[in-house]
Amino acid sequence: MNVLLTGAFGNVGTSAIGELLKQGHRVRCFDLKTKPNEKKALKYGDRIEVVWGDLRNPDDVAAAVCDQDVVVHLAFIIPKLSATGFESEDRPDWAREINVGGTRNLIAAMQALPHPPRLIFSSSYHVYGQTHDQPPPRTVCDPVDPIEHYACHKVECEQMVRESGLEWAILRFAAVLPLSLRLDPGMYDVPPDNRMEYVHTRDVGLAVANAVSSDEIWGRLWLIGGGPRCQYTYREILQKILGSMGVGMLPEEVFTTVPFPTDWIDTAESQRVLQYQQRDLDDYVQELTKLMGVKRHLIRLFRPIVRAFLLRRSPYLRARRNPDWQGKVAVVTGASSGIGEAIARKFSREGLRVVLVARSRERLEHVAKQLRALGGEALVIVADLTQEEERLQVFEEVRTAYGSVDVLVNNAGFGWYGFGAEMPWSLAWQMLQINVAAVVRLTLLFLEDMKAHGRGHVINVGSIASSLPAQGIALYSATKSFVESFTTSLYRELRDTGVRISLVKPGAVATEFFKKASAQLAALRMPGGELNVKPETVADRVWKLLKRPARVAYVPRLLSLVAWVEPFFGWLIDRLGPLLLRRQRKLAPVRVRNRPGRS
């Protein structure tokens, strides 16, 4: 058969390629053209066909699916470290474009063919949510209750597959650990007594290959796990893996106590049909040990240093060492995504109670659900901060719920890119209300209470644009300059009061900011979105400000040098700026632009 694998050079994909080739199938691999993927593709030579592309591009997808008998859809942005270094939970909008949007493009391309291929969709047992209050095992009939963006995307895609009109099968995988030495920072997010079913990546590859040729799998949901001999607690899995590496089991204090969405599953039917369960965790440990080679001896030699490093990486151990912040109340505006969501997650993980403020109830409730699932406390307040009455509503609701606030993070804001004279007044007014008026109003409201209690910390999220006014962001730069001046003045007023105020000045951050700034009415495409730091980096810096207060913090720290750019190189920006804007004008599609008095 002609078989297309999406995400072919990932963990499961590489295992599936080998098994499909053994069974004589003609394999077409669809994946992003990156150096690691190109290196993996070279190992197969002319035994496979490679189509490089992006799931978000319908033309790429259409080229990949033609002349195929079966499509195995594996490509998905996962909750922890992916090949690109990002996580589905860090950038949910970006991940959704690939996970849900990519699946939609794939289904549409298949439906458009005269003879559509069959579709095997890879899902996950994460869709069941937290199930440790229920007796195992999970079955195909159990209801889903996803708590992560990743699992929500899987559930949405499963529904699309069922309604596609295609011949389909859905495989929900258990824990497929990669044969890799990369440290997963999510290793601390599972309590040691959590039930977890392991399945070897090569067994999953075999299950996929056998499914391609099976007549029984279509129109049904299947659970793919290692079987009863691969049903462990997380503690047992770690003991085997860390023991083989020479590190030894870590103390219980470094792990969360909140149940994680993994469990044991019923794989009797999938094993009967697909006959794939051949390996167990001991086989994985042996392969991992072989992969480590001489590094294993070095780890044993420097075992105390390695263990100390791993202990420092645990957010839960750090939280226990910061009891002063346990139970404190933090208000975060713009908390439904991006930097605000990352800050809320960080605060919750460190033991603070978090008030989430934004306009989208659906997105806020999703974030709150995740924080609560991880053992945190979250209050949702839906508010449009352009409106004075809703700013007051935020203050009153927080005061009613908690009495006083320990931390206020003014993060809500938005941008617009283009010639200042062409900015619609409606958008300019909104920017002034959110970026300036809301910051001032909320700061002054909460400062009064903080001063009365003699404690508290206000953190305003600014931008490096306040130090470097540039073409295309005239009003945005001005609003952030105002916030910087406002913060600096208050910082000097609040000396010796017990109340702190700080400004965070990030550069480009890997959020939807650049996309949204370019999508606003009559805006041009905003450059710079490719050079960014993760929202979690900003969140970590905000957390450090609470422990070691300072007037201003740059993210990354190197941006502190930008203050010297404008005095010495402003003349160059004066000359290059207009050229860049005019270039964007030529590249931009023709749009109707608002004129003064007609916005």
- Contact residues for 572 (Cβ-Cβ < 8 A; gap 6+): none
What tokens appear for 101 in the block?
A: 């949007």
CB of 379 closer than 8 Å to CB of 354: yes
Active-site residue among 150, 316, 417, 476? 476
Q: How far is CA 523 from the centre of its chain?
A: 27
C-alpha dist (Å) from residue 99 to 96, 160, 293, 439: 5, 12, 36, 35
Q: How far apart are CA 342 and CA 149, in angstroms?
A: 13
CB of 170 closer than 8 Å to CB of 161: yes
Q: Nearest Cα to 138, choosing from 238, 268, 236, 237?
A: 268
Q: Nearest Cα to 511, choosing from 15, 91, 167?
A: 91
Q: Where are the alpha helices (DSSP H) in 2-113?
A: 11-22, 35-42, 58-65, 92-96, 102-111
C-alpha dist (Å) from residue 2 to 203, 211, 215: 21, 14, 16
Q: How far apart are CA 254 and CA 261, in angstroms?
A: 19
Q: CA torsion angle for 250, 265, 136, 234 (degrees, to 10)?
A: 0
- Contact residues for 565 (Cβ-Cβ < 8 A; gap 6+): 467, 468
What values do phi and psi take at 7, rounded to 5?
60, 40
Q: How far apart are CA 482 and CA 465, in angstroms?
A: 11
Element (H, E) at 240: helix 234-245
Using CA of residue 255, residue 258, residue 261, residue 262, what is the dihedral sign? positive
Q: How far apart are CA 353 and CA 402, in angstroms?
A: 10
CB of 337 closer than 8 Å to CB of 363: yes
Residue 85 amino acid letter? G
Q: How far apart are CA 238 and CA 581, in angstroms?
A: 54
- Contact residues for 262 (Cβ-Cβ < 8 A; gap 6+): 125, 126, 174, 175, 190, 194, 195, 196, 197, 234
Query: Annotated catalytic, 125?
Result: no
CB of 416 closer than 8 Å to CB of 427: yes
CB of 532 closer than 8 Å to CB of 556: no
CB of 385 closer than 8 Å to CB of 433: yes
Query: Look-up: residue for tokens 């913090």?
Result: 553
CB of 409 closer than 8 Å to CB of 331: yes
Q: Where are the alpha helices (DSSP H) in 403-512?
A: 425-431, 438-453, 474-493
CB of 477 closer than 8 Å to CB of 469: yes
Positions marked catalytic: 476
